[in-house]
């Protein structure tokens, strides 16, 4: 909660700085599309099997982006669909399985133009997880074959920070994100995970 309040305070200062230049320079709005790749990692701790693991995974993202600039300051919201597949490693499992996660991301980033083409960005990111897939079979203590599907309860708010380079109508972005709190995995094993990752994307403004 403290970290979220820090994000809000930083956002207020960014808006105040932007407001100081609104009278001199009219805001410039651009809308575009973007696509890229996700690298998602988990610090997973199982409740029963402490040596069970959910490996880092990769996926893709695609969606819309907008940019509202006040001279060097700006606001950069996005609406993204993200898909990530992570591999589980469970004791006594008859085979490994992927934990497949689909989500809608809404980052609202405040940016500052360092050079003519390079922007630094930071702000909150909100996520709505739409689906969790994947299942695995393993032998329980009674030597019975058991199959379970994954369920994933997760924190909806995090923070994102990165850089965005722009050349003509194209932009290339690299970003780090981390969710507040811990997500809960339930299925083959149960446990909690601190989630974070990187995103690399290419976009185009109309």
- Report CA-CA distances (Å) from 23 to 17, 26, 42, 68, 71: 12, 7, 46, 15, 11
Domains of the chain (ranges, CATH numbers): 2-205 (2.40.160.20)
**Mean pLDDT along residues 115-131:** 91
The answer on pLDDT for 52 being more than 80 is no
Cα dihedral 156, 158, 162, 165 sign? positive
Its pTM stands at 0.76
CB-based burial of residue 111 (10 Å sphere; 0-12 exposed, 13-18 middle, 19+ buried)? Answer: buried
Percent of the chain with pLDDT over 70: 64
| Between 205 and 131, the higher pLDDT residue | 205
pLDDT value, residue 160? 97
**What is the tens place of the pLDDT at every residue in 138-160?**
666 666 666 666 666 666 789 99
Q: State the residue for tokens 């994947």.
A: 134
Helix/strand/coil for 13: helix
């Amino acid at each position: 909660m403290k970290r979220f309040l820090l994000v809000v305070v930083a956002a207020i200062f960014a808006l105040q700085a932007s407001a100081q230049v609104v009278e001199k320079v009219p805001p410039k709005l651009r809308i575009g599309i973007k696509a890229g790749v996700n690298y998602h990692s988990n610090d997973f701790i199982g409740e029963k099997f402490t040596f069970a693991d959910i490996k880092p995974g990769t996926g893709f993202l695609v969606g819309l982006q907008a940019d509202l600039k006040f001279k060097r300051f700006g606001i950069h919201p996005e609406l993204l669909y993200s898909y990530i597949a992570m591999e589980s490693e469970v004791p006594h499992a008859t085979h490994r399985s992927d934990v497949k996660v689909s989500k809608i991301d809404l980052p609202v980033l405040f940016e500052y133009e360092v050079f003519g083409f390079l922007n630094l960005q930071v702000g909150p990111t909100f996520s709505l997880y739409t689906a969790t897939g994947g299942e695995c079979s393993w032998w329980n203590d009674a030597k019975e074959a058991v199959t379970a599907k994954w369920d994933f309860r997760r924190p909806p708010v995090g923070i994102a920070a990165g850089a965005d380079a722009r050349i003509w109508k194209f932009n290339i972005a690299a970003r780090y994100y981390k969710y507040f709190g811990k997500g809960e995995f339930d299925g083959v094993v149960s446990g909690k995970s601190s989630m974070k990752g990187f995103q690399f994307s290419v976009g185009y403004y109309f």
